[in-house]
Structure 1
Amino acid sequence: MSDFEPTLTAFILLKTTRAWLEMSVPERVTAFQDNVLPAIKDKADDVRWRYYDTEFYTARVTDIWVWEARDHEAFQLVVEALRETPFWDHYFEIVEILVGVENGYAKHYDTDILTTNIA
Protein backbone atom coordinates (compact mmCIF):
# COMPACT_ATOMS: atom_id res chain seq x y z
CA MET A 1 0.00 0.00 0.00
CA SER A 2 2.96 2.30 -0.35
CA ASP A 3 1.42 4.03 -3.36
CA PHE A 4 -1.86 4.59 -1.54
CA GLU A 5 -3.23 8.05 -2.31
CA PRO A 6 -6.39 8.71 -0.31
CA THR A 7 -9.14 10.87 -1.77
CA LEU A 8 -10.73 11.40 1.62
CA THR A 9 -10.10 10.97 5.31
CA ALA A 10 -12.92 10.11 7.70
CA PHE A 11 -12.87 10.47 11.46
CA ILE A 12 -15.42 8.28 13.21
CA LEU A 13 -15.88 9.49 16.78
CA LEU A 14 -17.01 6.68 19.08
CA LYS A 15 -18.14 6.14 22.64
CA THR A 16 -17.90 2.70 24.19
CA THR A 17 -21.13 1.17 25.45
CA ARG A 18 -21.77 -0.82 28.59
CA ALA A 19 -21.96 -3.99 26.44
CA TRP A 20 -18.34 -3.46 25.37
CA LEU A 21 -17.04 -2.47 28.78
CA GLU A 22 -18.63 -5.45 30.53
CA MET A 23 -16.57 -7.86 28.44
CA SER A 24 -13.07 -8.85 29.46
CA VAL A 25 -10.22 -7.71 27.24
CA PRO A 26 -9.84 -11.17 25.65
CA GLU A 27 -13.61 -11.21 24.98
CA ARG A 28 -13.36 -7.79 23.33
CA VAL A 29 -10.53 -8.94 21.08
CA THR A 30 -12.50 -12.05 20.11
CA ALA A 31 -15.67 -10.03 19.46
CA PHE A 32 -13.74 -7.64 17.25
CA GLN A 33 -11.97 -10.43 15.37
CA ASP A 34 -15.16 -12.47 14.93
CA ASN A 35 -17.72 -9.75 14.26
CA VAL A 36 -16.00 -6.68 12.82
CA LEU A 37 -12.88 -7.67 10.91
CA PRO A 38 -14.58 -10.30 8.70
CA ALA A 39 -17.25 -7.78 7.67
CA ILE A 40 -14.73 -5.26 6.38
CA LYS A 41 -11.93 -7.60 5.25
CA ASP A 42 -12.99 -7.75 1.60
CA LYS A 43 -13.43 -3.97 1.57
CA ALA A 44 -9.97 -3.18 2.92
CA ASP A 45 -8.14 -2.98 -0.40
CA ASP A 46 -9.08 0.64 -0.96
CA VAL A 47 -9.06 1.88 2.63
CA ARG A 48 -6.67 2.00 5.52
CA TRP A 49 -7.57 2.36 9.17
CA ARG A 50 -5.94 3.71 12.32
CA TYR A 51 -7.27 3.68 15.86
CA TYR A 52 -6.83 6.23 18.64
CA ASP A 53 -7.81 5.92 22.31
CA THR A 54 -9.14 9.14 23.78
CA GLU A 55 -11.04 8.03 26.90
CA PHE A 56 -8.32 9.33 29.20
CA TYR A 57 -8.75 12.88 27.82
CA THR A 58 -12.49 13.17 27.25
CA ALA A 59 -15.68 11.48 28.43
CA ARG A 60 -17.76 12.25 25.33
CA VAL A 61 -15.60 10.39 22.80
CA THR A 62 -13.64 7.33 23.94
CA ASP A 63 -12.12 6.33 20.60
CA ILE A 64 -11.45 7.77 17.16
CA TRP A 65 -11.16 5.63 14.08
CA VAL A 66 -9.40 7.31 11.18
CA TRP A 67 -10.15 5.91 7.74
CA GLU A 68 -8.38 6.94 4.57
CA ALA A 69 -10.06 5.83 1.36
CA ARG A 70 -9.10 5.90 -2.30
CA ASP A 71 -12.61 7.13 -3.12
CA HIS A 72 -15.98 7.84 -1.56
CA GLU A 73 -17.46 4.50 -2.58
CA ALA A 74 -14.68 2.58 -0.77
CA PHE A 75 -15.47 4.41 2.47
CA GLN A 76 -19.21 3.97 1.95
CA LEU A 77 -18.75 0.20 1.59
CA VAL A 78 -16.85 0.06 4.88
CA VAL A 79 -19.55 2.04 6.71
CA GLU A 80 -22.32 -0.13 5.25
CA ALA A 81 -20.43 -3.26 6.36
CA LEU A 82 -19.83 -1.88 9.87
CA ARG A 83 -23.52 -1.07 10.24
CA GLU A 84 -24.28 -4.78 9.84
CA THR A 85 -22.11 -5.73 12.82
CA PRO A 86 -22.53 -5.43 16.60
CA PHE A 87 -19.83 -2.76 16.46
CA TRP A 88 -22.43 -0.24 15.29
CA ASP A 89 -24.58 1.00 18.19
CA HIS A 90 -24.12 -2.13 20.28
CA TYR A 91 -20.43 -2.11 21.25
CA PHE A 92 -19.93 1.54 20.31
CA GLU A 93 -22.17 4.56 19.97
CA ILE A 94 -21.35 6.47 16.81
CA VAL A 95 -20.98 10.03 18.10
CA GLU A 96 -20.10 11.64 14.79
CA ILE A 97 -18.57 10.97 11.39
CA LEU A 98 -16.42 13.74 9.97
CA VAL A 99 -15.18 13.38 6.39
CA GLY A 100 -12.62 15.71 4.89
CA VAL A 101 -10.20 16.13 2.04
CA GLU A 102 -6.64 16.82 3.07
CA ASN A 103 -5.47 20.19 1.76
CA GLY A 104 -8.75 20.64 -0.11
CA TYR A 105 -8.35 24.42 -0.05
CA ALA A 106 -4.94 24.20 -1.77
CA LYS A 107 -6.32 21.93 -4.48
CA HIS A 108 -9.38 24.12 -4.97
CA TYR A 109 -7.44 27.40 -5.14
CA ASP A 110 -4.35 25.89 -6.81
CA THR A 111 -2.10 27.24 -4.09
CA ASP A 112 0.75 25.93 -1.97
CA ILE A 113 -0.03 23.58 0.88
CA LEU A 114 0.49 25.16 4.28
CA THR A 115 2.16 22.84 6.75
CA THR A 116 4.38 22.77 9.81
CA ASN A 117 6.19 19.65 8.64
CA ILE A 118 9.96 19.99 8.72
CA ALA A 119 11.69 18.30 5.81
Structure 2
Amino acid sequence: MPTDRPEPAITAFMLVKTTPEWLAMTVADRVEAFTTQVVPVIEARTRGVRSRFYDTEFYSARVTDIWVWEADDHDAYQLLIDALRETPFWDRYFDVVDLLVGVENGYARNYGVDAVTTITT
Protein backbone atom coordinates (compact mmCIF):
# COMPACT_ATOMS: atom_id res chain seq x y z
CA MET A 1 0.00 0.00 0.00
CA PRO A 2 1.73 3.24 -1.10
CA THR A 3 2.00 6.11 1.33
CA ASP A 4 3.06 9.73 1.01
CA ARG A 5 5.32 9.40 4.05
CA PRO A 6 9.04 8.74 3.65
CA GLU A 7 10.29 5.42 4.92
CA PRO A 8 11.52 6.02 8.49
CA ALA A 9 15.22 5.72 9.15
CA ILE A 10 14.51 3.95 12.43
CA THR A 11 11.57 2.44 14.24
CA ALA A 12 11.53 2.25 18.03
CA PHE A 13 9.26 -0.03 20.01
CA MET A 14 8.90 1.52 23.45
CA LEU A 15 7.56 -1.08 25.87
CA VAL A 16 5.97 0.57 28.91
CA LYS A 17 3.99 -0.34 32.01
CA THR A 18 1.45 1.99 33.56
CA THR A 19 2.13 3.21 37.08
CA PRO A 20 -0.36 3.39 39.96
CA GLU A 21 -0.37 7.19 39.60
CA TRP A 22 -1.56 6.94 35.99
CA LEU A 23 -4.17 4.31 36.79
CA ALA A 24 -5.54 6.39 39.69
CA MET A 25 -6.43 9.18 37.26
CA THR A 26 -9.77 9.30 35.46
CA VAL A 27 -9.73 8.78 31.71
CA ALA A 28 -10.46 12.48 31.21
CA ASP A 29 -7.53 13.38 33.52
CA ARG A 30 -5.22 11.02 31.58
CA VAL A 31 -6.14 12.63 28.27
CA GLU A 32 -5.68 16.08 29.79
CA ALA A 33 -2.29 15.17 31.27
CA PHE A 34 -1.06 13.65 28.05
CA THR A 35 -2.24 16.48 25.81
CA THR A 36 -1.00 19.27 28.10
CA GLN A 37 2.12 17.80 29.74
CA VAL A 38 3.59 15.41 27.18
CA VAL A 39 2.53 16.28 23.62
CA PRO A 40 3.55 19.98 23.77
CA VAL A 41 7.07 19.06 24.90
CA ILE A 42 7.41 16.51 22.10
CA GLU A 43 6.15 18.99 19.52
CA ALA A 44 8.43 21.76 20.77
CA ARG A 45 11.59 19.65 20.95
CA THR A 46 11.37 17.26 17.99
CA ARG A 47 10.81 17.10 14.24
CA GLY A 48 10.38 14.11 11.98
CA VAL A 49 8.85 11.67 14.46
CA ARG A 50 5.50 9.88 14.35
CA SER A 51 3.87 7.59 16.91
CA ARG A 52 1.27 4.87 17.25
CA PHE A 53 -0.03 3.24 20.42
CA TYR A 54 -0.87 -0.39 21.10
CA ASP A 55 -2.64 -1.65 24.22
CA THR A 56 -1.17 -4.92 25.48
CA GLU A 57 -2.47 -5.09 29.04
CA PHE A 58 -5.02 -7.66 27.89
CA TYR A 59 -2.22 -10.10 27.05
CA SER A 60 0.78 -9.15 29.18
CA ALA A 61 1.33 -8.39 32.85
CA ARG A 62 4.85 -7.04 32.30
CA VAL A 63 4.11 -4.55 29.49
CA THR A 64 0.79 -2.69 29.35
CA ASP A 65 1.40 -0.62 26.23
CA ILE A 66 3.70 -0.40 23.24
CA TRP A 67 4.40 2.98 21.75
CA VAL A 68 5.83 2.68 18.24
CA TRP A 69 7.94 5.62 17.13
CA GLU A 70 9.11 6.22 13.59
CA ALA A 71 11.92 8.74 13.28
CA ASP A 72 13.43 10.26 10.16
CA ASP A 73 16.92 9.96 11.62
CA HIS A 74 18.82 9.09 14.78
CA ASP A 75 19.06 12.74 15.88
CA ALA A 76 15.25 13.05 15.78
CA TYR A 77 14.92 9.87 17.85
CA GLN A 78 17.47 11.05 20.43
CA LEU A 79 15.72 14.42 20.77
CA LEU A 80 12.44 12.57 21.28
CA ILE A 81 13.85 10.49 24.13
CA ASP A 82 15.38 13.58 25.73
CA ALA A 83 12.01 15.36 25.46
CA LEU A 84 10.06 12.43 26.92
CA ARG A 85 12.46 12.17 29.87
CA GLU A 86 11.58 15.77 30.77
CA THR A 87 7.87 14.97 31.06
CA PRO A 88 5.85 13.02 33.63
CA PHE A 89 5.44 10.30 30.98
CA TRP A 90 8.88 8.93 31.81
CA ASP A 91 9.06 7.08 35.15
CA ARG A 92 6.05 8.83 36.65
CA TYR A 93 3.05 7.86 34.54
CA PHE A 94 4.81 4.95 32.84
CA ASP A 95 7.80 2.77 33.58
CA VAL A 96 9.85 2.27 30.45
CA VAL A 97 10.42 -1.48 30.43
CA ASP A 98 12.48 -1.70 27.25
CA LEU A 99 13.37 0.12 24.06
CA LEU A 100 13.77 -1.95 20.92
CA VAL A 101 15.14 0.14 18.06
CA GLY A 102 15.57 -1.22 14.56
CA VAL A 103 15.78 -0.45 10.88
CA GLU A 104 13.06 -2.02 8.76
CA ASN A 105 14.56 -4.40 6.19
CA GLY A 106 18.06 -3.19 7.02
CA TYR A 107 19.51 -6.49 5.86
CA ALA A 108 18.02 -5.97 2.38
CA ARG A 109 19.61 -2.54 2.03
CA ASN A 110 22.91 -3.75 3.49
CA TYR A 111 23.17 -6.70 1.10
CA GLY A 112 21.49 -5.12 -1.92
CA VAL A 113 18.68 -7.66 -2.07
CA ASP A 114 14.92 -7.38 -2.17
CA ALA A 115 13.18 -7.51 1.20
CA VAL A 116 11.37 -10.75 1.92
CA THR A 117 7.83 -9.89 2.95
CA THR A 118 4.42 -11.46 2.94
CA ILE A 119 1.26 -9.87 1.65
CA THR A 120 -2.08 -11.58 1.97
CA THR A 121 -5.41 -10.34 0.84
Residue 50 of structure 1: SS of its match in structure 2? Answer: strand
Which residues of structure 2 form unaligned runs of 5+?
Answer: none
Please, which of 93, 96, 116 is the counterpart of residue 94 of structure 1?
96
Asked if structure 1 preserves the Cα contact closer than 8 Å seen for 2:52 and 2:69, the reply is: yes
Match of 1:61 in 2: 63
Match of 2:17 in 1: 15
Residue 77 of structure 1: SS of its match in structure 2? Answer: helix
Asked if structure 1 preserves the Cα contact closer than 8 Å seen for 2:46 and 2:79, the reply is: no
**In structure 2, what residue type is equivalent to 1:62?**
T
Taking only the aligned residue pairs, the percentage that are identical comes to 59
Residue 107 of structure 2: SS of its match in structure 1? Answer: helix
Asked if structure 1 preserves the Cα contact closer than 8 Å seen for 2:14 and 2:99, the reply is: yes
Runs of 4+ aligned structure 1 residues displaced above 4 Å come to none
**In structure 2, what residue type is equivalent to 1:77?**
L
Which residues of structure 1 form unaligned runs of 5+?
Answer: none
C-alpha deviation, 1:67, in angstroms? 0.4
Q: What TM-score do the two structures reach when normalised by structure 1?
A: 0.94
Measured on the aligned residues, the alpha-carbon RMSD in Å equals 1.5
How is 1:23-102 mapped onto 2 (pairs within 5 angstroms)?
23-102=25-104
Asked if structure 2 preserves the Cα contact closer than 8 Å seen for 1:43 and 1:74, the reply is: no
Q: What TM-score do the two structures reach when normalised by structure 2?
A: 0.93
Asked if structure 2 preserves the Cα contact closer than 8 Å seen for 1:20 and 1:91, the reply is: yes
**Cα distance in 1 between the residues matched to 2:76 and 2:30:** 26
**Cα distance in 2 between the residues matched to 1:42 and 1:4:** 22
